[in-house]
């Protein structure tokens, strides 16, 4: 018979597994969802209408919880986070996915933790051991293989390069948000960031509303899904999971995003990735694994100290 403590842990994991599942499935489905929606909506209006919907969810959360209003300096950081991590990320990702396959885009974006750590190394002086650099180089080599299999390759302005720029924007958001999450909480921080990003997408509201009004029912449903799940609920469930079991265990589930995205792309779009994309993606994930395993060793060593 399990002890009372073990029962509590079992109940917690019954909630954690679905929470992680919501995040992983939502983010994996976002890539084929964006590609489908781009058949009827232009890239920037799509980003606008998606975050108009996400903004409603974020506003509802803030009205319900009534968190502390950000102080002036933090409000400025939230604006930067919104400009880069929401507006720029989604604009570049949507522009890139005009030509880049959903599976390839998911592999490139999955390098976000590595990019964030490299930014932290140069901007904040954070430690990055040799093994992490090796993992980073392996991932970038895999990304180069993926890009070469896409139209335009790694040329400036190509779809793959635009998706990579999007990942860099999200990585900067990841670095800037760290102190904000500590002060306001992960979900509240996400809500403020979503609203801040929406400010920079508002100039395209007219086009976004007009285009979604002329879109088919199926496209409208997909855009609503993109606005609610990957843009809002997935972040909330991710924040809950991290709070329960920590980032080290939770981040391992991100390895599932590219293969699930590939599967959904095939089912929904009949998109078949090239052999080079699969090989490059596998190499990129292997590099991310080496990178994460190094960070786990470092955290364990700090705990033992």
pLDDT in tens, 75-114: 999 999 999 999 999 999 999 999 999 999 999 998 887 8
- pLDDT 10s digits, 252-281: 777 888 889 999 999 989 888 888 989 998
pLDDT band at 249 (very low <50, low <70, confident <90, very high): low
pLDDT confidence band for 126 (50 / 70 / 90)? confident
Taking residues 56-60, report their average pLDDT.
95
Helices (H), the chain: 4-37, 43-65, 72-81, 89-96, 102-109, 112-124, 130-148, 159-184, 186-201, 205-214, 217-228, 234-245, 247-250, 257-269, 275-304
Q: Which two tokens stand for residue 203?
A: 């100039």
Q: How many domains does the chain fold into?
A: 1
Q: What is the pTM of this model?
A: 0.86
Enclosing domain of residue 59:
4-304
Alpha helices in 149-204 (DSSP H): 159-184, 186-201
pLDDT for res 178: 80
Would you give the end-to-end CA distance of the chain in angstroms?
35
At 301 the pLDDT is 40
């Amino acid at each position: 018979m399990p002890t009372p403590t073990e029962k509590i842990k079992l109940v917690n994991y019954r909630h954690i597994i679905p929470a992680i599942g919501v995040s992983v499935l939502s983010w994996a489905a976002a890539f084929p969802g964006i590609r489908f929606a781009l058949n009827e909506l232009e890239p920037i209006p799509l980003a606008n209408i998606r975050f108009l919907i996400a903004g409603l969810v974020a506003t509802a959360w803030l009205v319900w919880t009534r968190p502390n209003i950000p102080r002036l300096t933090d409000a400025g950081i939230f604006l930067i986070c919104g400009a880069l991590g929401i507006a720029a990320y989604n604009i570049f990702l949507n522009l890139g996915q005009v030509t880049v396959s959903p599976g390839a885009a998911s592999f490139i974006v999955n390098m976000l933790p590595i990019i964030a750590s490299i930014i932290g190394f140069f901007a904040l002086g954070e430690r990055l051991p040799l093994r992490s650099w090796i993992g980073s180089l392996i991932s970038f080599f895999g990304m180069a293989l993926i890009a070469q299999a896409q139209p335009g390759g790694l040329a400036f302005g190509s779809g793959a390069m635009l998706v990579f720029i999007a990942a860099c924007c999200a990585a900067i958001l990841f670095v800037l948000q760290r102190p904000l999450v500590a002060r306001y909480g992960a979900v509240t921080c996400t809500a403020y960031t979503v609203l801040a990003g929406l400010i920079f997408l508002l100039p395209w509201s007219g086009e976004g509303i007009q285009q979604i009004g002329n879109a088919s029912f199926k496209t409208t449903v997909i855009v609503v899904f993109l606005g609610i799940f990957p843009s809002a609920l997935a972040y909330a469930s991710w924040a809950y999971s991290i709070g329960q079991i920590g980032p080290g265990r939770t981040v391992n589930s991100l390895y599932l995003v590219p293969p699930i995205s590939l599967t959904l792309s095939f089912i929904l779009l009949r998109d078949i990735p090239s052999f080079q994309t699969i090989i490059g993606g596998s190499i990129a994930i292997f590099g991310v694994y080496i990178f994460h395993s190094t960070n786990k060793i470092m955290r364990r060593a700090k705990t033992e100290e």
